[in-house]
Chain A
Amino acid sequence: MRALVLWAGFALVLMVLPLIFDSVLGVSILNQMAIAIVFALSYNLLLGQGGMLSFGHAVYFGLGGFLAVHAMLLTETQTLAIPLVLIPLAGGLCGLCAALFIGSFSTGRAGTVFAMISLGVGELLAASSLILVSFFGGESGVSADRTFAPPFFGVDFSQDVQVYFLAAAWLFVSVLGMYLFTRTPAGRLANAVRDNPERARFLGYSAGRVRFISFAVAGFFAGIAGGLFAVNYEILTAGNLNAASSGQVLLMAYIGGLGVFIGPILGAVLLTLINSLLNHYTTLWMLYLGLVFVLTVMFLPRGLTGLLMLHRVPWQQGRLGLLVRPYTLTAIPGAVLVLSLIGLLELSQRETGPFVYLGIPFAPGSAVSWLALLAVAVIAFVALRRTLPGLRAAWAEASAQSPRSMHEGDAP
């Protein structure tokens, strides 16, 4: 019953979102988010649920997308009339076929060998996409026009909002499908094989076959994401299946958090926002993204949702209140430190003119601006060093008393 309410709530949110963010930019970002969420969740089936680190997941996304564009072209040339709502399915089937083929030889081993095969296959396909011009379109890619498809109950998908509802429907179906997959015996076994392949083998399950099933399902949903991309952008280029694209999805899933189902969703939403909003303000956003990623791997091995989940024990114990004061005390110098460091980085990129940062004008050439920012950063750092022990002590007090809480992971 509770689950039903949750899913109905999810559907309701999907319906209401375009009414709130009804600007052109808003709808375009929502579309990107839908695509990214499906892609990141499919990656989570590999790494989070199945323990397979892939450096070439964009292959299935890209192949699905390219096939979807070609399917749209078939409609355009009136060879076949495929309704636009079914185009993502075509992408998904293409992703599934590719994953069935590549998975047949790559899922026998996990760990480093699997990671290296995925890297090799990814590079192989990215390089061949520039050679096989008739399918991949070379440097310029392949483009199609979605409005040639037969109207779907009078909707011709000429506007982005109409595409949003198509994407949202596929998003809902995919998220539900992937969630249900993690509940099937195959999905459960994927977790078992991830945690202890030897034990799973002793129970009579072939670790390779279990991984193969997860891999194929992940390829299918990545293909659906690629199909959605094709419908939304009407163009696919070699950049959609190369290593950078595979890296992006790894970043999304990891920053969001791999252990929990909604982790990659959070990561996809966050990274899409960063990608599309931050690059209006700064040229350094990729650097910030890299910093956030490396710091996440170092200090939050289970991502942002992992951090949130750490608060479950204090919450259940009713001791969340203990954390409010130390959190506020640490957050103030922490925020000042981060803001002053960002200010320094941005200042280093400006050559002329006053640089207005947080309402304060800085002069790129003057030593005063530099020294002021530096002094603020140093003071904030020292203050942070002094408040951190208090936070740690509060954490220990709030979360470590019942023996059950020992399993809930480490305090930060």
Chain B
Amino acid sequence: MADALIFATLNGLVTGMLLFMLASGVTLIFSMMGVLNFAHASFYMLGAYFAFAISQQIGFWPALLLAPMLVGVLGALVERYGLRQVHKSGQVAELVFTFGLAFLIEEAVQLFWGRATQDFRSPAALDFALFTLFGQDFPAWKGVMLCISVSIFIGLYFVLTRTRTGIIIQAAITHPQAVANLGHNVPRLFMVVFGAGSALAGLAGVIAGPVLTTFPGMASVLGSIVFVIVVIGGLGSLTGALVASLLIGLLQSWAIASGLGMADLLALLGVSFPPDHALRDLWRLTLPQVAPLLPYLLLVLILIFRPSGLFGKRES
């Protein structure tokens, strides 16, 4: 039991920090531009695919650097020539635009790489067990994932609170007009933040691609979870995004590892139902089965009872 719990916690941390790399970008973009970026997970997918293509030509490590940069440039272009155009038509149009973009990127990926899963692997040099606990291996690549995501978190925190750029960004979130009057180019700042957020998503894609498999559906698998996190944490709150990412990561990981189900609960209560009972599916539910449901359940509950999220200050 203890070994399962430790490994579930470690895996939950890795997933949670990975989710945070996406959620932080969505949060920053939302607080600056008021747009929930549906296409954010698509940039994550592009990161994985670009890295796969580059790593086949010149190796994995250059890809780790080049792929996120490419994705970042693409994100900046999308903001400059797409989102800025749609901004005039209002918030709903912007949300619909990013939704359409996500649809388009998924199709474009299939155009270039096809529908099949790509054989994108972590570098062979890291193909060993970082440590072995209770006879179970913890792969070194997951350790690297954790290192990269934690250092990104620290770097992001440092940039936003300690550098001049970060302070201008923070000011532009609350007082864009005043920042513009001080002579800063706010539209360009928006473009840079959008590009940087996309690059972060791309980096997440590079490090997650080998573990979570690189296939055209990988964006939609993670995309809605990232939304859930951003809303649960509170729209626009980076702290909230971090807490919610870890919460979701750990919750799912524990639920899968536990293997408990309704049958255990019923046995504990001493209740039993005939096997052909009308609600038999309910009595057979297990936690690993409902693990994918948990984030959405949490989302709906949060939105009903605390619409501003865990750490959010304002509604919508």
User: Which residues of A come within 8 Å of B, CB atoms?
Assistant: 47, 51, 53, 55, 105-106, 109, 111-113, 115-117, 119-121, 123-124, 127-128, 131-135, 243, 247, 250-251, 254, 284, 286-287, 290-291, 293-294, 297-299, 301, 345, 348-349
Cβ contact within 8 Å between A123 and B104 = no
Residues A287 and B108 in contact in the complex (CB < 8 Å), given A113-B303, A113-B307: yes
Closest to B96 in A: A297
Is B179 engaged at the interface, CB distance under 8 Å to the other chain?
no
Cβ contact within 8 Å between B96 and A117 = no
| Contact bitstring B52-65, A, C-beta under 8 A = 1, else 0 | 00000000000000
Closest to B298 in A: A120
Q: A116: which of B227, B278, B285 is its contact (CB, 8 Å)?
A: B227
Cβ contact within 8 Å between B289 and A131 = yes
Distance A112 CA – B315 CA, assembled complex (angstroms): 9
Cβ contact within 8 Å between A297 and B97 = yes
Residues of A within 8 A of B107 (CB): 284, 286-287, 290
Is B126 engaged at the interface, CB distance under 8 Å to the other chain?
no
Q: A111: which of B91, B108, B304 is its contact (CB, 8 Å)?
A: B91
Is B93 engaged at the interface, CB distance under 8 Å to the other chain?
yes
Distance A53 CA – B89 CA, assembled complex (angstroms): 14
Cβ contact within 8 Å between B300 and A301 = no
Closest to A295 in B: B100
Which 8 A/B pairs are nearest by Cβ-Cβ distance?
Answer: A290-B104, A301-B89, A120-B299, A287-B107, A124-B296, A294-B100, A293-B100, A123-B296
Q: List 17 A-B contacts (CB under 8 A).
A: A47-B92, A51-B92, A53-B92, A55-B99, A117-B299, A117-B300, A119-B224, A119-B227, A120-B299, A123-B224, A128-B293, A131-B289, A135-B281, A247-B103, A287-B108, A299-B85, A348-B111
Closest to A138 in B: B281
Is B139 engaged at the interface, CB distance under 8 Å to the other chain?
no
Closest to A290 in B: B104
| Contact bitstring B35-72, A, C-beta under 8 A = 1, else 0 | 01000000000000000000000000000000000000
Distance A247 CA – B97 CA, assembled complex (angstroms): 12
Closest to B85 in A: A298
Q: Which of A47, A116, A293 has the most CB of B within 10 A?
A: A116
Cβ contact within 8 Å between A127 and B108 = no
Is B228 engaged at the interface, CB distance under 8 Å to the other chain?
yes
Cβ contact within 8 Å between B316 and A293 = no
Q: What is the CB-to-nearest-CB distance from B107 to chain A, in angstroms, rounded to a whole number?
A: 4
Is B188 engaged at the interface, CB distance under 8 Å to the other chain?
no
Residues A53 and B95 in contact in the complex (CB < 8 Å), given A131-B289, A284-B111, A349-B111: yes
Residues A116 and B86 in contact in the complex (CB < 8 Å), given A53-B92, A131-B289: no
Q: A112: which of B88, B93, B95, B96 is its contact (CB, 8 Å)?
A: B95
Instruction: Please give 10 more A-B residue pairs, beta carbons under 8 A apart, in addition to A51-B92, A293-B103, A298-B82.
Output: A117-B303, A120-B300, A123-B224, A131-B290, A132-B282, A287-B108, A290-B103, A297-B93, A298-B97, A301-B86
Distance A44 CA – B62 CA, assembled complex (angstroms): 48
Q: What is the CB-to-nearest-CB distance from A244 to chain B, in angstroms, rounded to a whole number?
A: 8
Is B21 engaged at the interface, CB distance under 8 Å to the other chain?
no
Is B220 engaged at the interface, CB distance under 8 Å to the other chain?
yes
Residues of A within 8 A of B303 (CB): 106, 113, 116-117, 120
Interface residues of B in 208-258 (CB under 8 A from A): 220, 224, 227-228, 231, 235
Cβ contact within 8 Å between B281 and A133 = yes
Residues A113 and B316 in contact in the complex (CB < 8 Å), given A120-B296, A293-B103: yes
Residues of A within 8 A of B296 (CB): 120-121, 123-124, 127
Cβ contact within 8 Å between B307 and A134 = no
Residues of B within 8 A of A132 (CB): 281-282
Interface residues of B in 279-316 (CB under 8 A from A): 280-282, 285, 289-290, 292-293, 296-297, 299-300, 303-304, 307, 315-316
Distance A28 CA – B203 CA, assembled complex (angstroms): 46
Residues of B within 8 A of A345 (CB): 111
Residues of A within 8 A of B316 (CB): 109, 111-113
Cβ contact within 8 Å between A243 and B86 = no
Residues A53 and B96 in contact in the complex (CB < 8 Å), given A117-B303, A120-B296, A120-B303: yes
Closest to A131 in B: B289
Is B101 engaged at the interface, CB distance under 8 Å to the other chain?
yes
Residues A113 and B293 in contact in the complex (CB < 8 Å), given A297-B97, A301-B93: no
Distance A348 CA – B113 CA, assembled complex (angstroms): 12
Residues of B within 8 A of A53 (CB): 92, 95-96
Residues of B within 8 A of A291 (CB): 104
Q: A297: which of B86, B110, B299 is its contact (CB, 8 Å)?
A: B86
Q: What is the CB-to-nearest-CB distance from A318 to chain B, in angstroms, rounded to a whole number?
A: 30
Distance A131 CA – B297 CA, assembled complex (angstroms): 15
Distance A113 CA – B92 CA, assembled complex (angstroms): 12
Cβ contact within 8 Å between B100 and A290 = yes
Distance A53 CA – B91 CA, assembled complex (angstroms): 10
Closest to A254 in B: B96
Residues of B within 8 A of A293 (CB): 100, 103-104
Residues of A within 8 A of B86 (CB): 297-298, 301
Distance A115 CA – B85 CA, assembled complex (angstroms): 22
Cβ contact within 8 Å between A297 and B91 = no
Residues A124 and B293 in contact in the complex (CB < 8 Å), given A112-B36, A254-B96, A297-B100: yes
Q: What is the CB-to-nearest-CB distance from B233 to chain A, in angstroms, rounded to a whole number?
A: 12
